[in-house]
Amino acid sequence: MPKIRQRTDQRIILELCLPHVVNGLDIFCPAPCFLDKTRGWKVVWKMLMLTSLQTTAKLTLRTRVNERSFRLKTIVNSGSEDLSKMNFDISDEQKLVLDEVDRACRELRPLEDQAYLAGKFNDHLIPIFKKAQLLGLPISRRYGEGQGADILTYALALERIGREGTGVRTFLSGHVSLGQLTVQKWGNEDQKQRYLPQATRGEKVMCFGLTEPTAGSDPTSLRTSFEDKGTHYLLNGSKAWISNGSISDISVIFAYPKGKHDAMCAFIVEKGFEGYSAQQQKHKLGMPTSDTGSIFLDNCRVPKENLLGSLGKGLGVAYSGLMSGRLSVAAGCLGVIEDCITEAVNYSKQRIQHGKPIGKHQLVQRHLGIMSTNLEAAKNLVYKAALLKQRSDEQPEDKEIRERADILIAQAKYFASNASFDAADRTVQIFGSSGYSFETRAPRHLVDTRVCRIYEGTDEIMVQKIAVNLLGQDFEAYR
């Protein structure tokens, strides 16, 4: 699968985009150069050592550069200390993946429109994404139709999918980000072989069962419990507001030992297990095409081999799953903003008031300018968070990188979700009375994206995490 091209050196480098040969450069280059034939001949030096007779270094180019282009760039690796400057060149292979995502989304849109207005789950979503092999995009190729995409490639795919609606993206967040990625990270090989191939092929739907009626932002207050019965575990309790909850075949369920509130454990629970049942949550504010359900565990028998991760380490499993889920929310929100901008711009050009298109009115232009600026700011946060998350996954023992990724993902999720809600609100305002009907796209985004400021970590929890990172752990509100 494609990889984002990024360089490890933090110094200023010179990239000359020359068609054939580079001559006459008075540059000392201790590191070898490389040629990238997929994007034309590019000669890139990892480090330039420039000599000067004065305090300011000077670069002499003994070549005719007036007919050729060159530019200075600062490029850093995602694992570097400074993530303020990055190069997000997209490879040709990545573009092929995103083209396939775009094709699937175009096929899905009219069917999603119909399902949304009918207020029901879109039954065409799984078959269309299955055909495009998107149901296991970041999962290893060893498991079914996993595509082995890196985290940023997956985030870019979710960004495009987000344009089709938060309900569409939420299905993938539950099925892939929270479900499959959690099993891939924490499961043993037997568990991965049993569950991931079916999930990547769309034969089984997955969900993540953490939230309960009385336990939302505080997962330590879970009431679901388990007992060790020797040959199996016995689970009792309920889960609420679970994405894909009533249609899921495989659930990642979290529970405490009976009578205790420490040593949380995670389990892989199949809907066919004795004592398992689920029910759809109705009358939601938005996302009618996304399934939300409650799960009930009444003496649910779970085989010993379905313990996910180590005994008593379930809270770590939960937190790692939430990191993946939050990043998926943030990435999808980028797509929401993009769709709102597209709708707002088109309408502003066509709608005539006071004898001219409303796009000529400065207050309408203000809405567009703010949305566009917020989009670019959100993209920078999300892409950086994705790269650092990839780095964290590659170095799971590095606590510092993991904590940095956690904070950056929280910042990305907080900013992107608020920016998407703001973009939807501004687009509704631009549409006026037409924006008050679900026949147009903006009001759907408005009610749907509101949940992005609640699930996978509320605005308040995200801001609190960010602030405590600055102040220190002694300032945690719930210590």
Q: Which residues are known catalytic residues?
A: 456
Distance of alpha carbon 131 from alpha carbon 114, whole angstroms? 20
CA atoms within 13 A on the CB side of 77: 10
End-to-end CA distance of the chain: 44
What are the b/e assignments for 94-131, b being 16+ CB within 10 Å? beebbebbeebbeebeebbbebbeeeebbeebbebbbe
Beta strands in 219-306 (DSSP E): 225-228, 232-243, 250-257, 265-270, 276-280, 292-303
What are the b/e assignments for 418-437, b being 16+ CB within 10 Å? bbbbbbbbbbbebbeeebee
CB 320 within 8 A of CB 361: no
| Nearest alpha carbon to residue 293 among 236, 240, 251 | 240
| Residue 248 DSSP code | -
What are the b/e assignments for 67-84, b being 16+ CB within 10 Å? eeeeeeeebbbbbbeebe
Instruction: Copy the structure tokens of residue 475.
Output: 């300032």
